[in-house]
Structure 1
Amino acid sequence: MSLQIGRAFQDGIDELLSERGAMFAGAFVLLGLLNAVVWASLSQRLIELFIEQLPEGMQVSQAATAGNASLALDVPLAVAGVAALVLFVAGEALNIVAVRAFASGDRDPIPDDVTRRLGRTVGVAIVAGILVAIAVVIGFLLLIIPGLVIALLFFFVRQEVALNDSGVFESLANSISVVGDNLLATVVIAVILAAIGIAVSLVLGALPLPLPPVVSTTVTTVLSSVVGVFGLAVTTVAYLQATDETDGFSEGTEPASGF
């Protein structure tokens, strides 16, 4: 079955509005809020460490040291660093579980097999993600266009790792193959998802200011998490179509129960 753009987005909307989608949106919101606090704490400790290294008498502006200080916790730098690493790994694990859930034909919001070989899969996903990030950055340094092309070619890497238990280089190669076979449709889906992300950013930028940091962070996290879950569902459905695999909306199967 070829990649059907309209169906991919319709199924993505269905998943987002389902019980499954609500559960993952809530999980990503919680993860995002924790990340905001941990990174604010880490940034604050790093700023303080930097100031301590400055020559005596050198002045630093208050704006440079403020950051998101109101969100920061008074924890040691090492604790904040370890917490950031743990949340990074937890975030990748949550992405893997979400992809598997959206790809499942199981009626349960969270199917039983979504955590299979999770440790190994998360490790592969992290290594593959780092390689993709490095390649994209190098591509952007080469006048931007190569970076966009590289990002597009690796559009389905996470789905390859999560659903096929592919290795690092196998997932990269298979993503390139899937995108190559469905280039135009993949480009359209990627552009639409990017446009949605930009639109949400513009909405956030138009919010009345000043907002308290806690309110601003919460609103930003909720909207970005909902958009992220929708994008993950659309990309997973598109991957299933492109690879002719059975998905959660095959004949005779209903999506997870909605609100």
Structure 2
Amino acid sequence: MALQIGRAFQDGIDEFLSERGAVFAGAFIVLGLANGIIWTSLSQGLVELFIGSLPSDVEAQTVMSETAPLAFEIPVAVAAVGALALFVVSEALNIVAIRAFASDTSDPIPDNVGRRLGKTVAVAIAAGILTAIAVGIGIILLIIPGLLLAFLFFFVRQEIALNDSGVIESISNSIGIVIDNIVPAAVLFVVLGVLGLVIGAAFGFLPISLPAMVSTTVSTVLSSVVGVFSIAVTTMAYLQATESEPNGAHMTESVGGL
């Protein structure tokens, strides 16, 4: 079945507005806020360690605290471990969300979304690192190659979560799906990317100045919600492109083959 832009968005919106979408929006918001706290705390801790090795500079410390509203006084080692743990949790939550949105059950979190989760998360992390390196190199090479690679890797997570693909297989299959549906996939990629950028930068265009804590928190919440919407739309698009019906056919086949 060819990828249809309108249908992908409609199915994605339906999933996003369902009870399942609300559950994952809440989970991603909590994860986003936790990430914000841990990473800003880690960054502030590292800067303070660096400043501590120099002559006292109260002004530099004050500037740092003002630009990191979610930072807490957390030991650097604890913050680093927390950041690593949240990275793994984030990958796991992405996999679970993809499987849930692809499921044909009405349960917000279907029973089978946790199958082989440890192995799947490990593959997703390995694929994410490999694709991030490739995209990063492409960005350095005048940006356009990086964006092109990011586009070709559009369905890597869906391949891993729903097709149990390995690292290289998921990358290869994603490239094949994108090339076979290049125009609608490009539209989805651009629209979702622009939506994420607009939401992320929205508070920079407000005519009033909000407290840093408020703007950072609200921006994190909105970005998390948009992230869930993007997962829903991309998953529905993947199911179409792989000739599976939305809400479960591909998921059911994959589970049935275990």
Which secondary structure does the structure 1 equivalent of 2:165 belong to? coil
Corresponding position: 1:156 with 2:155: yes
Q: Deviations over 1:3-46 (max 9, x none)?
A: 01000001111111110001100100011111111112101110
Q: 2 CA distance for matches of 1:208 and 1:121?
A: 45
Alignment RMSD, CA only?
Answer: 1.8
Q: 2 CA distance for matches of 1:131 and 1:208?
A: 41
**Percentage identity across aligned positions?**
63
Q: 1 CA distance for matches of 2:32 and 2:212?
A: 14
Q: Which amino acid counterpart does residue 101 of structure 2 have in structure 1?
A: F
Q: 2 CA distance for matches of 1:58 and 1:47?
A: 12
C-alpha deviation, 1:247, in angstroms: 2.4
Which secondary structure does the structure 1 equivalent of 2:137 belong to? helix
**1:81 aligned residue:** 80
**2:52 aligned residue:** 52
Q: 1 CA distance for matches of 2:90 and 2:207?
A: 30
Q: 2 CA distance for matches of 1:87 and 1:189?
A: 28
Q: 1 CA distance for matches of 2:242 and 2:69?
A: 47
Where does 1:20-31 land on structure 2 (aligned, <5 Å)?
A: 20-31=20-31
Q: Which amino acid counterpart does residue 35 of structure 2 have in structure 1?
A: N
Which secondary structure does the structure 2 equivalent of 1:107 belong to? coil
C-alpha deviation, 1:62, in angstroms: 4.8
Which secondary structure does the structure 2 equivalent of 1:37 belong to? helix
Q: Which amino acid counterpart does residue 51 of structure 1 have in structure 2?
A: I
Q: Which amino acid counterpart does residue 205 of structure 1 have in structure 2?
A: G
Q: Which amino acid counterpart does residue 192 of structure 2 have in structure 1?
A: L
Q: Which amino acid counterpart does residue 222 of structure 2 have in structure 1?
A: L
Corresponding position: 1:118 with 2:126: no
C-alpha deviation, 1:63, in angstroms: 5.6
**1:98 aligned residue:** 97
Q: Which amino acid counterpart does residue 53 of structure 2 have in structure 1?
A: Q
C-alpha deviation, 1:246, in angstroms: 3.1
CA contact (8 A) 1:33 1:217 kept: no
CA contact (8 A) 1:156 1:239 kept: yes
- The normalised TM-score by structure 2 is 0.91
Which secondary structure does the structure 2 equivalent of 1:236 belong to? helix
Aligned length: 249
Query: Against the structure 1 CA distance between its residues 74 and 61, is the aligned structure 2 distance closer, same or farther, given a 3 Å change threshold?
Result: closer
Q: 2 CA distance for matches of 1:100 and 1:30?
A: 20
Which secondary structure does the structure 1 equivalent of 2:240 belong to? helix
**2:19 aligned residue:** 19
Query: Against the structure 1 CA distance between its residues 59 and 107, is the aligned structure 2 distance closer, same or farther, given a 3 Å change threshold?
Result: closer
Q: 2 CA distance for matches of 1:79 and 1:66?
A: 19
Gap regions ≥5 residues in structure 1? 251-259
CA contact (8 A) 2:65 2:71 kept: no
Query: Which deviates the most, 116-125 or 188-197?
Result: 188-197
Q: Which amino acid counterpart does residue 125 of structure 1 have in structure 2?
A: A
- The normalised TM-score by structure 1 is 0.90
**1:128 aligned residue:** 127
Gap regions ≥5 residues in structure 2? 250-258
Which secondary structure does the structure 1 equivalent of 2:87 belong to? helix
Query: Against the structure 1 CA distance between its residues 135 and 244, is the aligned structure 2 distance closer, same or farther, given a 3 Å change threshold?
Result: same
CA contact (8 A) 1:41 1:75 kept: yes
Query: Which deviates the most, 125-134 or 57-66?
Result: 57-66
Q: 2 CA distance for matches of 1:208 and 1:39?
A: 29
C-alpha deviation, 1:49, in angstroms: 0.7
